[in-house]
Structure 1
């Protein structure tokens, strides 16, 4: 009895200390998560370097981290700084009256009166839509300006988080295999199940980050390029916006280029509108429809609708990290239920079959008697 009390007390304190540690690490959730993502995504690179250099874990981890910084981190920082500068320029133009979102919508409405007649059938007011869109554009520009101001004021915090992420990524690259083995040994789920779950975790994280980010970069670059070719204002800004919205499956960059094509047609630039529409449907849309199932759906073994719903839910719950966390939670949910059905469902089925056979044998014995 006393040993059971000791065990229960120890387990309760273990859970309590673990929860306290989780809350202690909560402010650093972003750097920790992205350090783990870097370690998992660049693990194949690490293996190749290990095969070339030999068993020198510190050097291999350092070289892998340098490759990550050159390929990913530094370009993202340059892009973000350019986006902030261009976003501030658009905000200043809106504040000075050079850009008037409401006038753009009025021009579209005058050029296509059929839109107003169509919406009137559903009791939808074009004026109300105009005001909402104009307020959304102004609010978005204010948000960009606020973020730019906050970035300038919190530069030290940003670089502290970046340094922490790089620091953790180095040790995760160097000691990641040992840490996984330690967790497998410590968790009471069964080694085979734990290895399956850790493999699924790494697979989904790698596929989602690589897939979604690669698709976003491709679509944003294509969208920014065609906007630049057609001499549309703030091409870099709109390219980044298209990259962000392309993180949403089945929605994507069309949220940006379709209104732009409609506006070009409304202002008489029919050729530019046709070029943008054809390019958006054929090139940008094809990049989404072809690459997303290859990089995300196929690797995560998740249906497209699950990827969409989990991505949206993840963004709502976890913010910018949600486009990875959402599909990750969905994949782990399906992995857990797959294990349950395979092990416990199979056992229940065997027990049911055994019970039916026993009942049949008993009935046959009674009839024979």
Structure 2
């Protein structure tokens, strides 16, 4: 056997070994992914919550002098106790709204009620609004609704189907909060592991910088955008549920989307206040509800400075696309995870673009 043939033999043998090893690694990675896939959203949301709450965890450890595990347990229990009731109320309200809407879309029938007489007494637009509503509810109902309903049926069924599991999504959120507390208890170890992984992927110089960039982006988006929108959703949604507003849970989700889009929640609260006044009248309970809804709708103006939301260095279209895409692909949990993941990917991409590779040292020596 000639030397050239021996070289070709060993090269082909070595290349075959590389392909075999790569194939085995790929099979192992795919198998691990299939096993871990049912828990992926839960673990991602747990990690986001742990990273978000970790600065508070560190401050409480220093202030109270307790062990990290005890402080993590305290934060988890307090958070679950605060969120349990409103989350369950909103989840059940959304579930009822989704069930009724699905039954309506599948049945193909829609009934528009006659307008209340009190609307006609509104200044400027009252009489015109009353007449238009009455016309649609009576003469035009059979034609207009039947023409529009087939076009809306497909999209409505898809959206309502995604929202149907919202109750399970809220329960998953509570479970993620508990797992996030466990992750916080081992925060120092997790930080070192994250830096080690990033350093192994990007080098010892860029690794810590990338880990810090991801951490800062997660906290900024989770606190300054998603966190504020979630708190505002709870505040507004509780008022809607207590007042018995139809579709209170779905309206609360609309407040969440507006908050992520950085639009005022008053776009939802003001029409609801008008609706409640028109149906219930100017009673003491309605007045209290109206004042509470206005204050809750403006709560983001107070929460943003407290939660450092104004320092989010991610374009709002990126956050909005992440929220909508996450909701379509992952339901209610995807609505929270999507903006954070897309924001992290956006920051990492631009970090890669703005950090060009260094020229090889060999070229520098040759030029000299």
Confirm whether residue 203 of structure 1 aligns to residue 216 of structure 2. Answer: yes
Which one of the candidate residues 103, 106, 114 is aligned to 2:113?
103
Equivalence for 2:79: 72
Distance 1:339 1:285 in 2: 36
Secondary structure of residue in 2 paired with 1:22: helix
Q: Distance in 1 between matches of 2:35 and 2:318?
A: 32
Q: Which residue of 2 aligns with 1:362?
A: none
Change in Cα spacing, 1:45 to 1:191, as seen in structure 2 (3 Å) is same
Q: Structure 1 residue 312: deviation in Å?
A: 2.0
The answer to which structure, 1 or 2, has the higher relative contact order (CA under 8 A, 6+ apart) is 2
Quote the offset at 1:21 in angstroms: 1.4
Asked if residue 173 in structure 1 is aligned to residue 184 in structure 2, the reply is no
Partner residue of 1:29? Answer: 40
> Does 1:320 pair with 2:332?
yes
| 1:25 to partner: Cα distance | 0.5
Where does 1:94-173 land on structure 2 (aligned, <5 Å)?
102-103=112-113, 113-114=128-129, 127-128=144-145, 165=179, 169=183, 172-173=186-187
Q: Is the 8 A contact 2:42 2:176 kept in 1?
A: yes
For residue 191 of structure 1, give the secondary structure of its aligned residue in structure 2: coil
Cα shift at 1:265: 5.6
Which whole-Å deviations, capped at 9, do the CAs of 1:260-289 have from their partners, x for residues lacking one?
A: 234246458479999978876x64454346
- What residue in structure 2 maps to residue 257 of structure 1? 269
CA contact (8 A) 2:76 2:177 kept: no
Q: Number of matched residues?
A: 326
**Counterpart-to-counterpart distance in 1, 2:228 and 2:278:** 33
Alignment equivalent of 1:334, drawn from 339, 346, 353: 346
When normalised by structure 1's length, the TM-score is 0.63
Structure 2 Cα separation of the partners of residues 4 and 312 of structure 1: 45
C-alpha root-mean-square deviation of aligned residues, in Å?
5.4
Contact 2:57–2:71 under 8 Å retained in 1: yes
How far did 1:217 drift?
Answer: 1.7
Tell me if structure 2 keeps the 8 A contact 1:216–1:242. no
2:89 is aligned with 1:82: yes
Query: Do 1:108 and 1:262's aligned partners in 2 also have CA atoms closer than 8 Å?
Result: no
Give 1:103 shift.
Answer: 2.0
Determine whether 1:308 maps to 2:320.
yes
Q: Distance in 2 between matches of 1:248 and 1:129?
A: 34
Q: Is the 8 A contact 1:201 1:332 kept in 2?
A: yes
Q: Which residue pairs with 1:216 in the alignment?
A: 230
Structure 1 unaligned spans of 5+: 352-357, 359-369
Contact residue 203 and residue 299 of structure 1 kept, 8 A? no
Residues in 1 aligned to 2:253 and 2:214: alpha-carbon distance in whole angstroms: 29
CA drift of 1:190 comes to 2.3
